[in-house]
Amino acid sequence: MSESHRPDMPLSDLWKTYVEQNPRVRSKHTVSLMTISVRTFQDFLGRPGALADFTNENLVAYMEYRKQLGRAPRTIEREVSKLATIWRFAATRGPGHDAQGWRPSIRQRTAHQPQDG
């Protein structure tokens, strides 16, 4: 049965669906990193997250939040990469995202893009 990825879908449900439907997620380390990334994003939000929370504004603010906590830039990039994986999964799977006219937008950032200082 295909899962409908609605904007109000809890991130915990989306994450479980991603793991169930993606046979490439076999490494316990990868599962752990993705679980931590979802949890820390929800900690940042201060509540359980939903798919609609994956916005450029929220992800940029999340990156700043993690930076203020003293996390290394590579750690932050890894965390956001894991979140983006789930975001892309929702954007490309399930009939619900297109049927409702909603689709998360993904803006790619190059590794060498200048940072505002």
Q: Tens digit of pLDDT for each residue in 28-67?
A: 888 888 889 999 999 999 999 998 898 889 999 999 999 9
Domain-embedded: residue 54: yes
Whichever domain contains 91, its CATH number is 1.10.150
pLDDT at 5: 66
Query: How far apart (Å, rounded) are the C-alpha atoms in residues 12 and 92?
Result: 18
Q: What is the pTM of this model?
A: 0.71
Domain-embedded: residue 112: no
Total number of domains constituting the chain: 1
Domain-embedded: residue 70: yes
Query: How far apart (Å, rounded) are the C-alpha atoms in residues 48 and 70?
Result: 23
Domain-embedded: residue 110: no
- Note the pLDDT tens digit of each residue in 60-109: 999 999 999 999 999 999 999 989 888 888 888 754 444 334 444 444 44
Q: Any idea of the CA torsion for 46, 73, 86, 30, to the nearest 10 degrees?
A: -110
Domain-embedded: residue 57: yes
Domain that holds residue 43: 11-99
Domain-embedded: residue 55: yes
- Asked if 40 contacts 79 with a C-beta cutoff of 8 angstroms, the reply is yes
More confident of the two residues 29 and 2: 29
